[in-house]
Amino acid sequence: MTDTPATPSDAALYALPKAELHLHIEGTLEPDLAFELAARNGIRLPYDTVDDLRRQYDFSDLQSFLDLYYETLDVLRTEADFAELTRRYVATAAAQGVRHVEPFFDPQAHTSRGVALETVLGGMTAALDEAERDLGVTSGIILSFLRDRPVEEAEATLTAALQRSDRIIAVGLDSAEVGYPPALFEKVFARARDAGLHAVAHAGEEGPPEYVLEALDLLEVERIDHGIRSAESPGLVDRLARDRIPLTICPLSNVRLRTVPELAAHPLRRLDAAGVRVTINSDDPAYFGGYLGDNFIAVRDALGMTEAEARRYARNSLTASFAPEERVAELLAELDAWRA
**Catalytic sites, residue numbers:** 205
d(CA 76, CA 225): 25
User: Which residue, 24 or 277, is less far from ligand HPA as judged by CB?
Assistant: 24
User: Which residue, 79 or 283, is less far from Zn ion as judged by CB?
Assistant: 283
CB of 33 to ligand HPA, least distance (A): 17
Indicate which single residue of 30, 106, 177, 283 sits in contact with Zn ion (rule: CB under 5 A): 283
CB of 88 to ligand HPA, least distance (A): 18
Residue 81: name its binding partner from ligand HPA, Zn ion, none (Cβ under 5 to 8 Å by kind): none
d(CA 173, CA 106): 9
d(CA 250, CA 215): 18
Where along the sequence are the contacts to ligand HPA (CB under 6 A)?
24, 27, 62, 69, 174-175, 202, 205, 253, 283-284
d(CA 314, CA 21): 11
182 class by beta-carbon count within 10 Å (0-12 exposed, 13-18 middle, 19+ buried): buried
Residue 205: name its binding partner from ligand HPA, Zn ion, none (Cβ under 5 to 8 Å by kind): ligand HPA
CB of 231 to ligand HPA, least distance (A): 17
d(CA 212, CA 235): 12
CB of 144 to ligand HPA, least distance (A): 7
Closest alpha carbon to 271 in 245, 292, 291, 293: 245
Closest alpha carbon to 212 in 171, 169, 183, 170: 183
Residue 27: name its binding partner from Zn ion, ligand HPA, none (Cβ under 5 to 8 Å by kind): ligand HPA
CB-based closest residue to Zn ion: 283
Q: Which residues of this chain interact with Zn ion, rule CB under 5 A? A: 283
